[in-house]
């Protein structure tokens, strides 16, 4: 699992699969969290869907989820404020 402590929270690499039938976590593969999203990769819709979905999964506000790298790529580095490393791992493992 490739989650690391960052600032006042955690950061993780995410690979996004847009235009899926539903939003879901597929788990960690080679250190990258795979996420399916219903939103298309147009005009930032998939990025908004990703931040909303990760906020819901990790039990934090949407404003605490920030895309640090990869705005226009399927592979993104995401930072989440206000969530401990142990709490993030626990919540992500429960949702898989």
Instruction: Give the CATH number of the domain where residue 52 resides.
Output: 3.30.1200.10
pLDDT at 95 over 80: no
pLDDT in tens, 54-84: 999 999 999 999 999 999 999 999 999 999 9
Q: State the pLDDT at residue 2.
A: 81
For the segment 38-59, what is each residue's pLDDT rounded down to a tens digit?
A: 999 999 999 999 999 999 999 9
**Is 75 inside any structural domain?**
yes
Residues 92/22, Cβ–Cβ less than 8 Å = no
Closest CA to 91 of 6, 15, 1: 1
On whether residue 90 sits in a domain, the answer given is: no
Burial of 76 (0-12, 13-18, 19+ CB in 10 A): buried
| pTM as predicted | 0.93
Q: Total domain count for the chain?
A: 1
Structural domain that includes position 52: 3-83
């Amino acid at each position: 699992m490739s989650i690391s402590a960052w600032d006042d929270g955690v950061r993780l690499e995410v690979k996004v699969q847009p235009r899926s039938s539903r939003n879901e976590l597929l788990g960690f593969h080679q250190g990258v969290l795979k996420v399916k999203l219903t939103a298309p990769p147009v005009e930032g819709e998939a990025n908004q869907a990703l931040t909303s979905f990760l906020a819901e999964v990790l039990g934090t506000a949407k404003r605490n989820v920030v895309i640090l790298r990869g705005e226009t790529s399927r592979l993104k580095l995401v930072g989440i404020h206000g969530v401990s490393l142990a709490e993030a791992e626990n919540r992500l493992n429960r949702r898989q």
